[in-house]
């Protein structure tokens, strides 16, 4: 799922006396996290987003495309489980992250080479290569999150991860556009496979660069492996608080409610509303812009007032986003709605991630990240299945007495239902878990004016008054 403001170093951290220009382990680790985000964004925007297009070049069937789309969720759960189970095999979390990144880098070779060498089996060979790639990606996730979280003070995680997410969003969008332009050039010359070769090899080299950067971080602590690792069920029963279990229930059900609508927006915009691809691209870009502009503010809000307060506001606001699609179909209106959606999702995603770090002991963070990912994946699957069934069940036309509602398809009605379920999840579960950190306490009315964009608006309104005094 995941940008910010201020400088992140503690004032107590200093370079080594023997080497005045050397970076301490915390500072170098933080810088690695940002730079790794850049290379990871290139892989996402320039590589992962074009895997389906590469499959179409190989004449993949709809069934093969569906398998290709399902691989990240199917393999991600198991890869993260295995990652935590065998973490004691590695001398440190950084070592585990290193080999996971190497696996991601190398896997782009079979993704590209195998389908081109044996084109008659191209789609299936691509699926095998993609399976290897996403297995390595998810295998790295728990150790990476725990490794980075240990380098951060609890009150600065929001700002740091917001800053990183902002960098990732911008870089991913840039990589997406550059890769699309490159493919268009080679497509016009009937050499599309050359374009994919350049893109995928570049992505593989970028992941290798992350591994090289990780090796430059020195003096990282070595973890002592536990002789009798706790299983996941035992961890959930005794290793976490009731507070964290309630949070997991909220996160999983929120994912289920969201995914009832999530996969079908592209279908609604392109097939039902018949928007051009450039219009759809602008709609996507509006969401990214909303994230980019507000991630620093959300990070500061979460650090100052807590991730529970962050989840409370964004969890309620995210219920409104899909409901708005019933109000109009004008392109500029859709752009504004998705911009608002990007603003809200920037805060919600940040809060869901950082709450996991705050709610468990440092030694349990990798396991907690894996458990949260599993719960979210279950919710993801449940929501997707429910949404596909609702498409077949919900009528296009709704009539109550003299009132008739007939949108262009039944998808806006499904979006509205998704919003109602999000609101139900938020209203019933928010009171079941609390903020695990000591944070600044304010009334909800005061917190409202601390939200991104509203805080900026308040400062603009107050500025002329301040200047006149």
Domain end marker among 188, 222, 256? 222
Residues 216, 242, single domain; the answer is no
Residues 163, 281, single domain; the answer is no
Distance separating alpha carbons of residues 97 and 370, to the nearest angstrom: 14
Sign of the C-alpha dihedral computed for residues 266, 271, 273 and 276 taken in this order: positive
Residues 265, 323, single domain; the answer is yes
Residues 198, 145, single domain; the answer is yes
Residues 195, 134, single domain; the answer is yes
Residue 284 falls inside a structural domain: yes
* Cβ-contact 210, 35 below 8 angstroms: yes
Residues 125, 170, single domain; the answer is yes
Distance separating alpha carbons of residues 389 and 401, to the nearest angstrom: 27
What is the model's pLDDT at position 13?
A: 35
Residue 9 falls inside a structural domain: no
Residues 251, 198, single domain; the answer is no
Residue 1 falls inside a structural domain: no
Claim: this prediction has a pTM higher than 0.75:
no
Residues 381, 432, single domain; the answer is yes
For tokens 């240990």, name the residue. 150
Report which of 115, 117, 138, 152 is spatially closest to residue 30, judged by C-alpha positions: 152
Domain end marker among 199, 222, 245? 222
Report which of 383, 168, 408, 169 is spatially closest to residue 284, judged by C-alpha positions: 169
pLDDT tens, N- to C-terminus, the chain (469 residues): 333 333 322 333 333 333 333 444 466 667 777 888 888 888 887 888 778 778 777 777 756 665 676 666 667 777 877 877 777 777 777 777 888 888 888 888 888 888 878 888 888 888 888 888 888 888 887 777 777 777 777 777 777 877 887 888 888 888 877 887 787 788 777 777 888 888 888 888 888 888 887 777 655 545 544 444 555 566 666 667 788 889 999 999 999 999 888 777 877 887 788 877 567 767 877 888 888 888 888 888 888 888 898 999 999 999 999 999 999 889 999 999 999 999 999 899 989 988 988 888 777 777 787 788 888 878 887 887 888 788 888 888 777 766 777 778 888 999 999 999 999 999 999 889 998 888 788 777 777 767 777 766 565 556 554 444 4
Cβ of 189: how many Cβ atoms within 10 Å? 9
Residue 310 falls inside a structural domain: yes
Angle between the 331-359 and 365-393 helix axes, to the nearest 10 degrees? 150
Residues 176, 316, single domain; the answer is no
Residues 334, 207, single domain; the answer is no
Total domains, the chain: 2
- Structural domain that includes position 90: 25-222
Q: How far is CA 352 from the centre of its chain?
A: 10
What is the model's pLDDT at position 340?
A: 93
What is the model's pLDDT at position 238?
A: 63
Report which of 433, 436, 430, 171 is spatially closest to residue 302, judged by C-alpha positions: 436
* Cβ-contact 169, 44 below 8 angstroms: no
Residues 210, 299, single domain; the answer is no
* CATH number of the structural domain spanning residue 161: 1.20.1250.20
* Cβ-contact 107, 136 below 8 angstroms: yes
What is the model's pLDDT at position 409?
A: 86
Residues 130, 242, single domain; the answer is no
Domain end marker among 222, 245, 267? 222
């Amino acid at each position: 799922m995941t940008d910010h403001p201020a400088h992140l170093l503690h004032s107590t951290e200093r370079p080594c006396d023997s080497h005045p220009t050397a970076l301490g382990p915390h500072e170098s680790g933080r810088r690695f996290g940002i730079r790794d985000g850049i290379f990871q964004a290139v892989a996402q925007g320039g590589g992962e987003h074009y895997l389906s297009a590469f499959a179409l070049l190989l004449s993949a069937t709809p069934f093969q495309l569906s398998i290709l789309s399902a691989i990240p969720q199917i393999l991600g759960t198991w890869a993260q489980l295995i990652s935590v189970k065998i973490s004691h095999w590695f001398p440190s979390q950084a070592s585990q992250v290193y080999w996971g990144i190497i696996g991601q880098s190398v896997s782009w070779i079979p993704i590209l080479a195998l389908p081109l060498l044996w084109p008659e089996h191209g789609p299936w060979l691509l699926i095998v290569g993609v399976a290897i790639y996403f297995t390595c990606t998810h295998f790295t996730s728990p150790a990476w999150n725990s490794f980075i979280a240990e380098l951060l003070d609890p009150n600065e995680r929001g700002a740091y991860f917001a800053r990183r997410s902002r960098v990732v969003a911008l870089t991913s969008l840039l990589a997406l556009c550059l890769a699309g332009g490159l493919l268009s050039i080679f497509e016009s010359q009937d050499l599309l496979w050359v374009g994919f070769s350049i893109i995928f090899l570049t992505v593989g080299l970028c992941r290798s660069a992350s591994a090289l950067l990780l090796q430059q971080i020195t003096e990282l602590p070595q973890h002592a492996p536990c002789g009798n690792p706790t299983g996941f069920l035992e961890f959930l029963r005794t290793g976490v608080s009731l507070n964290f279990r309630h949070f997991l229930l909220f996160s999983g059900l929120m994912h289920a409610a969201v995914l009832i609508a999530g996969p079908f927006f592209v279908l609604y915009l392109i097939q039902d509303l018949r928007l051009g691809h450039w219009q759809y691209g602008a709609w996507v870009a509006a969401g990214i812009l909303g994230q980019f502009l507000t991630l620093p503010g959300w990070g500061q809000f979460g650090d100052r007032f807590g991730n529970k307060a962050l989840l409370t506001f964004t969890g309620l606001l995210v219920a409104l986003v899909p409901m708005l699609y019933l109000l109009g179909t004008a392109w500029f209106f859709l752009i504004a709605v998705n911009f608002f959606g990007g603003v809200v999702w920037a805060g919600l995603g940040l809060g869901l991630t950082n709450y996991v770090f705050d709610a468990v002991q440092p030694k349990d963070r990798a396991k907690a990240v894996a458990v949260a990912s599993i719960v979210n994946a279950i919710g993801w699957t449940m929501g997707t299945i429910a949404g596909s069934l609702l498409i077949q069940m919900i009528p296009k036309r709704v009539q109550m007495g003299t009132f008739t509602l007939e949108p262009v398809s039944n998808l806006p009605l499904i979006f509205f239902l998704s919003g109602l379920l999000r609101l139900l999840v938020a209203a019933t579960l928010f009171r079941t878990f609390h903020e695990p950190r000591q944070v600044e306490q304010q009334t909800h009315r005061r917190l409202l004016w601390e939200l991104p964009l509203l805080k900026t608006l308040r400062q603009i309104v107050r500025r002329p008054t301040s200047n006149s005094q």
